[in-house]
């Protein structure tokens, strides 16, 4: 029987050694998404890229660079297997396409559930934990209406708006992105909902199983919600709320940001109203979301990852010195550095990678780099 035209198995697991090298490279100190992809491309695979890390860090000026401990890597993989989580590796076929152009694309994700949800259009619906009755009703209606039109919803499994969104679109398709490990459900009251999403929907996390989420994990989680969505809708959000961070991330990633307005005398509408004043689309119904999706997205200046291989020839110390001389703690665009320096692109990119691994520079969204704060 001819086997052609069979789609690739989305649940195909990578070979064990490849998975181990991938997780190890991703979990090694100062390896970010940009460097990860450049190293893999340069060395033709994760294993050889992992081996090359100390050499690059040394060229960046850090002699005692240590990749992640392999025991920790094996423990993460084993715990993931115990809870039935599948890895989605950056570069593999089943990795969601929409995440690939994020400045800081997750190097891998643990997931439980239905990977075919990635093939459908997705809308992020996020909002306040202490939502009002109107806000919860709005979240439910938007999620139901979007679901009935074939859209997948994406949210964060938090109390309030997020919970209403997942509940309302469980049967039509919903993705929950967690800040902690897949087995650390917060709030605990959502354990049942999480279990149902893990079978009927899709549960994702960048964190190792068992990780308790802390404050700094949430913005990172929020970038994945935004990345998976063509538009992010704030259903209800006070000022200085986490949902506003998701909105900012969505803008940085060139995603449409939309918001449901509320009365100014209701503090729970303050974040949404401010976003609308700043240009976010005003949403009254799922129809308004559809209209917004039909319009060309106003892309902010975005950083697009190079995909071609690059020459990894010997790196003159001078390139690093020149780069170091130009950098301050205020981020500048890699592109401008290359233009200003007048050196071959590959030399500058390679110098930056070495300096990143050595902890001398940090990367910012939009292809920006800055000197690390000492």
Print the SS3 string covering 167-186. Answer: HHCCCCCEEEEECCCCCCCC
CB nearer its own copies, residue 7 or residue 279: 279
Considering the complex, what minimum distance in angstroms separates the CB of residue 276 from its own copies? 5
Considering the complex, what minimum distance in angstroms separates the CB of residue 282 from its own copies? 5
Dist. CA 246–CA 227, nearest whole Å: 10
Which residues does 275 contact at the CB level (< 8 Å), separation at least 6?
234, 237, 244, 247, 257, 259
Considering the complex, what minimum distance in angstroms separates the CB of residue 359 from its own copies? 44
CB nearer its own copies, residue 21 or residue 126: 126
Considering the complex, what minimum distance in angstroms separates the CB of residue 151 from its own copies? 18
CB nearer its own copies, residue 154 or residue 292: 292
Dist. CA 160–CA 133, nearest whole Å: 10
CB nearer its own copies, residue 140 or residue 345: 140
Considering the complex, what minimum distance in angstroms separates the CB of residue 206 from its own copies? 34
- Structure letter (DSSP) for residue 70: H
CB nearer its own copies, residue 62 or residue 128: 128
Residue 203 has φ and ψ, to the nearest 5°, of -115, 130
Considering the complex, what minimum distance in angstroms separates the CB of residue 333 from its own copies? 31
Residue numbers at the binding site for its own copies (CB under 8 A): 134, 137-138, 260-266, 269-270, 273-274, 276-277, 281-285, 288
The HSE-up count of residue 319 (CA atoms within 13 Å, CB side) is 22
CB nearer its own copies, residue 199 or residue 298: 298
CB nearer its own copies, residue 40 or residue 231: 231
Burial class (CB in 10 A: 0-12, 13-18, 19+), 209: buried
Considering the complex, what minimum distance in angstroms separates the CB of residue 269 from its own copies? 7
Dist. CA 22–CA 326, nearest whole Å: 33
What contacts 24+ positions apart, CB below 8 Å, involve 277-283? 280/234, 280/247, 281/256, 281/257, 282/258, 283/142, 283/233, 283/258, 283/259
């Amino acid at each position: 029987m001819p086997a052609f035209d069979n789609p690739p198995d989305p649940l195909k697991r990578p070979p064990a050694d490849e998975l181990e090298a991938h997780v190890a490279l991703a979990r090694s100190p100062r390896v970010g998404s940009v460097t990860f992809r450049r190293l893999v491309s340069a060395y033709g695979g994760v294993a050889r890229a992992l081996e090359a890390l100390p050499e690059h860090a040394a060229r960046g000026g850090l002699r005692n660079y240590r990749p992640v401990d392999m025991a920790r890597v094996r423990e993460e993989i084993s715990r993931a297997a115990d809870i039935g989580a599948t890895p989605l590796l950056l570069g593999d076929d089943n990795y969601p396409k929409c995440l690939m152009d994020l400045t800081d694309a997750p190097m891998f994700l643990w997931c439980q559930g239905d990977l075919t949800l990635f093939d459908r259009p997705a809308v992020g619906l996020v909002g306040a934990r202490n939502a009002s009755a109107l806000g919860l009703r709005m979240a439910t209606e938007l999620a139901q209406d979007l679901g009935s039109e074939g859209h997948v919803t994406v949210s964060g499994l938090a109390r309030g708006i997020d919970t209403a969104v997942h509940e309302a679109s469980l049967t039509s398709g919903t993705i929950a992105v967690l800040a902690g490990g897949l087995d650390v459900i917060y709030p605990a009251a959502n354990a049942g909902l999480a279990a149902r999403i893990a079978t009927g929907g899709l549960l994702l996390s960048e964190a190792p199983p068992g990780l308790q989420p802390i404050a700094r994990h949430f913005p990172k989680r929020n970038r994945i919600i935004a990345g998976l969505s063509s538009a992010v809708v704030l259903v209800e959000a006070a000022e200085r709320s986490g949902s506003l961070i998701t909105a900012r991330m969505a803008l940085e990633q060139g995603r449409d940001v939309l918001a449901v307005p509320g009365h100014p005398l209701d503090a729970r509408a303050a974040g949404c109203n401010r976003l609308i004043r700043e240009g976010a689309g005003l949403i009254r119904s799922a129809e308004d979301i559809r209209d917004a999706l039909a319009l060309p997205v106003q892309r902010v200046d975005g950083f697009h990852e190079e995909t071609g291989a690059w020459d990894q020839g010997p790196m003159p110390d001078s390139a690093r010195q020149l780069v170091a001389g130009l950098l301050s703690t205020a981020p500048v665009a890699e592109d401008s550095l290359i233009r200003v320096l007048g050196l071959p692109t590959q030399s500058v990119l390679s110098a930056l990678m070495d300096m990143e691994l050595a902890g001398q520079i940090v990367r910012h969204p939009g292809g920006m780099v800055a000197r690390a704060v000492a």
